[in-house]
Structure 1
Amino acid sequence: MKDDEPQELHEPYVLDDPERLKALAHPMRRRMLTLLNLHGPATSTTLGELLGAKTGTTSYHLRQLEKYGFIEEIPERSSGRERWWRRAPILRDMRAPHPDDLAPGDRAALEEFHRAGYEEDLALVERFPAAYRADPDWAWGSRGLVRMTKDELKAFQDEYVALLLRHGHQADDAPPGARPLYVRLFTLPADDG
C-alpha cells in the first residue's frame, strides 16, 4: 500500500450485488472502463469516438456505470452538457463473490460476468506472442505448478493483489516511462482433467 492512499482503497470490493455484476457483464461498459483506465477521464463523446458508438449510447452506459458506483463525474471539469467521467477509486481491488454468497437465481449474473472476462482474457493471450516479440521487456509470463491448501491459496491471492497495488500506479500518479499493463493471474486445479 502506498503511504499517501486511504486504507479503503486497498480493501477488497466484493461484487456481491447481482445488478452490479450484470452492469459489468455488458461488453461496451467493460470497454469503457478499460478506456478510462488506459486514457484517464473522458466524455461520452470521446468514448463514442473511440468505440465507434453514438454519444447517446455511450451516455446511457456511462449513467449505468455511475448508478452502480463504477465511475464518477468530475464536476470541476464538467460544464453544460459536457460531463467528464473517471473510474471510481473503489475499484483498486474488485473481486467476484463466491457463488454460495449469491441466491441461486442470481448466479447466472456471476456466470455472465465471468464469461465476459474470459473472452477478454483469451484475446489478451492471443496478443501475447506478438507483444513479446515486439518488446520482451514489457511482455512477461509465468507458468507454474504448485500445491497449496485453500487457505494458502487465499493468502497468496491477497498478497498478490497487495503486491500489484504497491507497485502499480493510477494514470494520474504514474511516473514518466510508466505504461499501462494488463496483468492476469488465474489458478485452477491441475488434477481435474
Structure 2
Amino acid sequence: MSRPLEPDPRRDVVLDATTLKALTHPLRPRILSALRLHGPSTASRLAEHLGVNTGATSYHVRQLAEAGFVVEDPELGNARDRWWRAAHARTFFDTHDADQEMSAAYLSALAAGYADNAQRAIAEIATLPAEWEDAGTFSNWTRRLTPEETSELIHELTETVRRYRPHQGTDDAPEGARPVSVNLEVFLAPGMGDESSP
C-alpha cells in the first residue's frame, strides 16, 4: 500500500480547532481555492469570479487573513487596491481531532464549493476548444469494500494523481497544458452506515 500524502510544513497548513472554525463559512474555502488556482487577486475581482457580493467577499478575505490563510501581496497592491494571495499551497484536515459540528460545517462548505465548480464547468462545456470538449468526465462508481480496501483505494488514486505535474511551480508544462481540477470524494454510501454484512 502506498503512503498517504504528508503535509510539508514549509508550504502546507494543517487545520486545528482555531483555523478550522475560520473555514466553516461556505464562501471562505471557495475564496481560498480561487487564490490557489488563479493566483493573487483583489476582493472585487474575487467577487466577480465567484459571482458574489464585493462587500461580503472583502469581509471574508479579511477573516481569512486574520486566520493566516491569505496574506497581502505588497508587490501588486496599492493604497486603493489590496491584492491577496494564498499563504499555503494545500490544506490538511484530520476529522479525528476536530469538533464534529465544526468538522461537518467545514466539509459541507467544501462540498458546496465542489458542486459550484462542477456546475460552472458544465455551463462552460459549450465554449471549450474542441480538444477539451471530451477531456473531462463526471463519473460515479459504487463498490462494496471494507474500510481497509477503501483506504487502499484512496492511496492508489492519490498516487496516480501525484504522478502528474502540479498546477503551480512547474515550468516544464507542455504547450496547451491548463489547470485541470481533480476532485476525489470517497465515502460510505449515504444511508448505508447501519447495513449489516451479508
Q: Gaps spanning 5+ residues in structure 1: where? A: 1-6
Q: Secondary structure at the match of 1:85?
A: strand
Q: Gaps spanning 5+ residues in structure 2: where? A: 1-6
8 Å Cα contact 1:73-1:86 kept in structure 2? yes
Q: Secondary structure at the match of 1:178?
A: coil
Q: Distance in 1 between matches of 2:13 and 2:28?
A: 18
Deviations 1:5-38 (A, max 9, x none): xx82798743232x32232222222332233234
8 Å Cα contact 1:10-1:165 kept in structure 2? no
Shift of 1:107: 1.8
Task: State how many pairs are aligned.
Answer: 179
Shift of 1:101: 1.7
For 2:4, the equivalent position in structure 1 comes to none
8 Å Cα contact 1:131-1:139 kept in structure 2? no
Q: Distance in 2 between matches of 1:132 and 1:58?
A: 27
Is 1:181–2:180 an aligned residue pair?
yes
Shift of 1:149: 5.2
User: How has the CA–CA distance of structure 1 residues 164 and 9 changed in structure 2, closer, same or farther, with 3 Å as cutoff?
Assistant: farther
8 Å Cα contact 1:132-1:139 kept in structure 2? no
User: How has the CA–CA distance of structure 1 residues 188 and 8 changed in structure 2, closer, same or farther, with 3 Å as cutoff?
Assistant: closer
TM-score by length of 2: 0.66
- Letter aligned with residue 30 of structure 1: P
Q: Secondary structure at the match of 1:77?
A: coil
8 Å Cα contact 1:44-1:59 kept in structure 2? yes
For 1:115, the equivalent position in structure 2 comes to 108
Greater helix proportion? 1
For 1:8, the equivalent position in structure 2 comes to 8
Deviations 1:25-71 (A, max 9, x none): 222223322332343211123223433423x4333211211222322
What RMSD in Å do the two structures reach over aligned CA positions? 3.6
Equivalent residues in 2 for 1:78-157, closer than 5 Å: 78-91=77-90, 94-98=91-95, 100-102=96-98, 106-123=99-116, 135-141=132-138, 143-144=140-141, 150-151=147-148, 153-154=150-151, 156-157=153-154
TM-score by length of 1: 0.68
Bigger Cα displacement from structure 2, 151-160 vs 177-186: 151-160
Q: Secondary structure at the match of 2:71?
A: strand
- Letter aligned with residue 83 of structure 2: W
For 2:29, the equivalent position in structure 1 comes to 30
Q: Distance in 2 between matches of 1:144 and 1:178?
A: 28
For 1:72, the equivalent position in structure 2 comes to 71
Bigger Cα displacement from structure 2, 27-36 vs 170-179: 170-179
8 Å Cα contact 1:74-1:86 kept in structure 2? yes
